[in-house]
Amino acid sequence: MKKEISRREFLLAGTAVAAATLAAPVVGASPAWESEGQRNMQSTTMPKRYLGDLEVSALGLGCMSMAGIYNPPQPKEKMIPIIRSAFERGVTFFDTAEAYGPFLSEEMVGEALEPFKGKVVIATKFAFSFNGTQATGRDSRPEHIRQAVEGCLKRLRVETIDLCYLHRIDPNVPIEDVALTVKDLIREGKIRYFGLSEVSPNTIRRAHAVQKVTAVQSEYSMVERVMEKHIFPVCEELGIGFVPWGPTARGLLTDKYNDFSQLDYRRAAISYFQKEALEANQALLAIIRDWAERKEATPVQVALSWIIAQKPWIVPIPGTTNPDHAIENIGAKNVHFTQAELAEIRNSIEKVTVMGVRTPDQTLADQ
């Protein structure tokens, strides 16, 4: 059995090839990985999936961190090649929002994907009002939604938004009013499909009764699994796709942040990176490392491919600002599990008490 490839080893092996590929991406080209573990990067064929009636690649690219949510905003000259390289490697589903930056992520995505109009699906989100680039609160009044959508269209350089989510619930506006406004915008050709982010099962049902919901987005990973019991049944019943953000658990499942002293913002901002939780969650990482060795893959590839294997209507959107990480993430499409292996993994991870995750009550409430 081959030795598991760590994320660090993967990155060292792939840096030169990734740089060359990103400088001049070619459709159908494959990086020249030689080791058996890194062969998971070679195939450029990306399986397709459906979110409701919307066809997308089985793995998307989240573009939030490019705009400085977890780090300083990154230069578009470095981010645009990552987005375009993902497309050349088969990714057709790209996720952004007006709040990311604000506006910077949409601008990068719009410029990066303009040459590929008609070949990609761009998802964005509305929900907030802004004073310049400062968010001033939630605002889902019909007139504000229309104003927000016009801004999104301009920044994304498109005539129609493929998938437009309500980013967060405005407690002052009934979800039915939001859904009706989006329904009108769909009729006008400005939006193709409607999505919801971080909402309760009841809100999903109420919105869906007015305008068909194509996708629900919320946090889900091998760490954060509460969605399985409360949101997945509603999605399956109504024919709604599920788009997990945070599929690598904010980087925990990359197997990079195992030493408390290594942590940056995560130490203070994310519950499952608190020292006690980080120590307790090493048991889960040990399981993932074992499967990475068995599959001749990296831990993050195992974490992403596990998500893909859960339901045919789930499409994770890992984000990154690192070209090597982007290539590594895409390689998850080449890691496969049998039903027996999935059962074995499930049995193992459910024996681990993961610390720092959301409670069932939190997932049942609009965020």
Q: For residue range 243-295, what is the model confidence (pLDDT) as tens digits?
A: 999 999 988 998 877 665 555 666 667 888 888 888 899 999 999 999 999 99
Q: What is the pLDDT of residues 322-361, one digit of tens each?
A: 999 999 999 999 999 999 999 999 999 999 999 988 888 8
Task: Write down the pLDDT at residue 266.
Answer: 66
* CA 294/CA 249 separation, integer angstroms: 22
Residue 353 tokens, joined: 């008490």
SS3 318: coil
Residue pLDDT, tens place only, 24-57? 333 333 332 223 344 454 455 899 999 999 999 9
Report domain extents, the chain. Answer: 7-363
Q: Are 253 and 287 in contact (CB under 8 A)?
A: no
Residue 113: what pLDDT? 98
Q: What is the pLDDT of residues 111-122, one digit of tens each?
A: 999 999 999 999
The predicted structure's pLDDT at residue 183: 98
Report the top-level CATH class of 7-363.
alpha beta
Least confident segment among 27-31, 71-75, 295-299 = 27-31
Considering the chain, what is the average pLDDT of its residues? 88
- Per-residue confidence (pLDDT) for residue 169, from 0 to 100: 98
Q: Is 61 left (phi over 0), alpha (psi -120 to 50) or beta?
A: beta
For residues 203 and 366, what is the distance between their CA atoms, to the nearest angstrom? Answer: 8
| Neighbouring C-beta atoms of residue 309, cutoff 10 Å | 17
Could you give phi then psi for residue 101, rounded to 5 degrees? 135, -60
Maximum Cα–Cα distance across the chain: 60
Residue 19's pLDDT is 38
Residue 93 has pLDDT above 50, yes or no: yes
Catalytic residue among 50, 100, 165, 272: 100
Please indicate whether residue 100 is annotated as part of the active site.
yes
308-334 mean pLDDT: 97
Digit-coded pLDDT (tens) for 181-210? 999 999 999 999 999 999 999 999 999 999
> Whole-model pTM?
0.88
Which uninterrupted H or E stretch holds 18? helix 7-23
